[in-house]
Every structure is written in structure tokens, then in C-alpha cells.
Chain A
Amino acid sequence: GAVVSQHPSRVICKSGTSVKIECRSLDFQATTMFWYRQFPKQSLMLMATSNEGSKATYEQGVEKDKFLINHASLTLSTLTVTSAHPEDSSFYICSAYRNPNQPQHFGDGTRLSIL
């Protein structure tokens, strides 16, 4: 069964709206979670590493003020796309591992469509 849950699975909203996506580890505590972005028929691109109790680490080229990450508990990380525009439309996926020696488990993704 799924060990990482992501919500919502799909969002359609108007340009300028801020959208929050949740990622939960269901049966383990995750001090670290990851947020990826995936364009159609392409691979996953790491956006940021979410660290419980501290600031997220963003990959080069990812705007931290645009993509706000909050990891407030050991089982929940949120990604907020602020003032979303059509170019932000994409498939956003989170992942988590039980410990650094274990593989990452992925959520089912969130399809974000900005009109």
C-alpha cells in the first residue's frame, strides 16, 4: 500500500491564485522530504529538499519565494505555489524515505493546471 500520500491529486485554478499541496508520510516519520516537478513525458526534476524544523534547500534556478515549503511536522510537508501562472502548470510529486539508507517512496503526484 501507499506509504506517501499527496493531496490534492488535481487542481485547476485561475492565474494569480496560490495553491497548497500536501505530502504526508503515512506510517513513518520523515525528517526529510523532496519535491519534484515533472513536465509531460519528461523525467523528474528536483525542486527542493524539505527539512523538518528548518528551512528547505532549493535547487539552482528554483525561486524560493515562488515555491514556499513548510515541513511543520515529521509526517507533513507542504508546497505552496504562490501567485501561480500558466507556466507553473505541471505535475508536482513529493517523496520521502524512512532513513537515508532506504529508497525514496513517491506520492501519486498533483496535476496543477493554471488557466
Chain B
Amino acid sequence: TQLLEQSPQFLSIQEGENLTVYCNSSSVFSSLQWYRQEPGEGPVLLVTVVTGGEVKKLKRLTFQFGDARKDSSLHITAAQPGDTGLYLCAGAGSGGSNYKLTFGKGTLLTVNP
């Protein structure tokens, strides 16, 4: 069983602060996806990283894929209350499966005004 360890599990910060969420595994993934989910809704794809060492930016969000394609991080700069939600990382392609996703446990982020 491939596991993705995501940390922290819960994070409560003030508006304007920076934060980083980590996603680590002992398995190599062909790609890694980050999703954001709001209560009562399905996850919405934020980004897919494919190449080891890749860095992608989405406004105030910066995503990084580790060189060995086993870990990833999400950094949010100057967090806003609208960033509140459940952030999920999901790895694809581990163990020979090209499409099954392995999800981390998620990080529940609360940004207080």
C-alpha cells in the first residue's frame, strides 16, 4: 500500500500569515496533484506537478515537486480567509498504476480575519 503523509493535519492562522503544507511518501509518483475542497463539495484541482524539482505558481500559491518525485509542498503567501478549506495532495502512478490516486489525509486550513 502506497502512503502519502500529509502535514499538518490542522492549521489555524491569521490573515496575512504564510504557511506551508507538506506531502511525503516513500513511493515514487509519476505525478502529484493538489486539490482544495470546501464543505459539502467535491475536490477542485489546483495543480498537477509532473517533473522532479518542478515549481508551479498559482497567484499566492507555490507548489513544488521533490527531485525524487516522492514529496511535494504547497506554500501560501499572505493567506486570506478565502483560502480556508481542506487541501489534499494525491499521487498518481505509484506501484504501476497510471491512474489510481493515493490521497493524503488532508490539511484543514482556517484563515481567521
A residues apposed to B, CB below 8 Å: 4, 6, 32, 34, 41-46, 49, 91, 93, 95, 97, 100-101, 103-109, 111
Q: When the two chains form their complex, are residues A44 and B98 in contact, meaning their CB atoms are under 8 A apart?
A: no
Given that A32-B99, A49-B100, A100-B99 are contacting pairs, would A108 and B105 also be in contact in the complex, using a CB cutoff of 8 Å? no
Rounded to whole Å, the gap between the CB of B37 and the closest CB of chain A is 8
**Which A residues touch B45, using CB under 8 A?**
103-105
Residues of chain B having any CB pair with chain A under 8 Å? 6, 31, 33, 35, 40-45, 48, 86, 88, 92, 98-101, 103-106, 108
Contact residues in A for B99 (Cβ distance below 8 Å): 32, 97, 100, 104
Contact B42 A42 (CB under 8 A): no
* Cβ contact within 8 Å between B101 and A6: no
The residue on A at minimum CB distance from B42 is A106
Q: A103-B45, A103-B48 are in contact. Are A44 and B103 (CB under 8 A)?
A: yes
